A = this chain, B = another copy of it.
Amino acid sequence: MLKFEEYVEMASQAVAAIQYPAQPAGLYEPIAYTMALGGKRLRPVLTLMTCDAFSGNAAKAINAAVGIELYHNFTLLHDDVMDRADVRRGHPTVHVKWNDNTAILSGDAMLTMACQYITRTPADSLPQVLETFNATAMEVYEGQQYDVDFEQRDDVTESEYIDMIRLKTSVLLGCACKVGAIIGGAGKDAADALYNYSCDLGLAFQLQDDWLDVYGDERTFGKEIGGDIANNKKTFMLINAINDATGDDATELKRWIADCDPSHRADKVEAVRNIYTRLGIDKKAERAIERYTSQSLKWLDTVEISDQAKTAFTNFATMLLRRKK
């Protein structure tokens, strides 16, 4: 196994080496722009690490790794159009810098480019890799659709929410590991175990994101706190609060949900945070994060890979969940 930073370097270099035709510029420039915005390259790193753990040869999975990163960035590009998000990683989103049509068409092209990279997989594992990738992609769209649907509903349960974020964000992390495992020559059980490892890790990560929006420290979190509260985003926190609140808490929560006056933002964030704390939603989230984290790590015990590889995956989890207040 290599050092974590070496996998990141390998993934970053491969992403930077993607060739974009010069013409038509209106199609390819937005793709190059999106891919150059950076990001943590977590998914390709997982693909490379997993392939390395089973075969001792991370490079075998480099094209699949790039394909998965292209796919991830395609979903962000189209999600930003749908969510009318103006900023991504500190830069204007494609539909702001160009326009909606450009974002749609360049996103479509990114999805096909992702397929082109995924297809550059050794022929013996190609059918299995494509099956995993395409099935995962379908789940990601389903997750996005449920996310949209949930914004129109007031009776979403915690378990429905978990299922939604599993589809919308976790399965692609799972896929990143599974594809690396398949290319690395892992058996079905081992590939599935690594899939579950990163899928559960993804759930813990998303729940931590929900928690950090309420209890995080802006200086270390890196983005403004309270955005989910201000926008009534149906997170783990809000869904549980709606379901658990009674009496005055329920009345107050309803009142704040109805109040979207930007000048009340700070008061709203503080008041809703206090409701969450009174209802113990903070502790509930922390317990869920711990549960999914430990579940994630347990999958590693079932797989026959070197202790060095197990340590690498454990360290990856620790690194991912290090972000605290």
- Using a CB–CB cutoff of 8 Å, the interface residues on chain A facing chain B are 21, 23-24, 26-27, 78, 81-82, 100-101, 104-105, 107-109, 111-113, 115-116, 119, 123, 126-127, 130-131, 134-135, 137-138, 141-142, 144-146, 148-149
Contact = CB atoms under 8 A, between A and B. Distances in A.
Copies of this chain, tallied across the complex: 2
B108 A82 contact: no
A127 B123 contact: yes
B115 A134 contact: yes
A142 B82 contact: no
A149 B28 CA distance: 13
Nearest to A131: B119
The 3 closest A-B pairs by CB, nearest first: A27-B145, A24-B145, A109-B141
A116 B130 CA distance: 8
B134 A119 contact: yes
A119 B112 contact: no
A148 B81 contact: no
B113 A146 contact: no
B111 A108 contact: yes
Given A141-B27, A142-B27, A108 B78 contact: yes
Given A105-B141, A105-B145, A126-B127, 11 more contacts: A26-B145, A78-B105, A81-B104, A105-B148, A108-B141, A109-B138, A109-B141, A112-B141, A116-B134, A116-B135, A119-B130
B82 A101 contact: yes
A40 B169 CA distance: 38
A253 B149 CA distance: 50
A126 B21 CA distance: 25
A82 B116 CA distance: 25
Contact of A26 (B81, B130, B148): B148
Q: Which of A82, A111, A112 has the most CB of B within 10 A?
A: A112
A144 B81 contact: no
Contact of A112 (B113, B126, B134): B134
A141 to B, nearest CB: 4
Contacts of A108: 78, 107-108, 111, 141
B138 A112 contact: yes
Contacts of A137: 112
A111 B104 CA distance: 13
A199 B279 CA distance: 65
12 contacts: A24-B142, A24-B145, A26-B148, A27-B141, A82-B101, A82-B105, A101-B148, A104-B104, A112-B138, A119-B127, A126-B126, A130-B130
A67 to B, nearest CB: 11
Contacts of A78: 104-105, 108
A149 B116 CA distance: 25
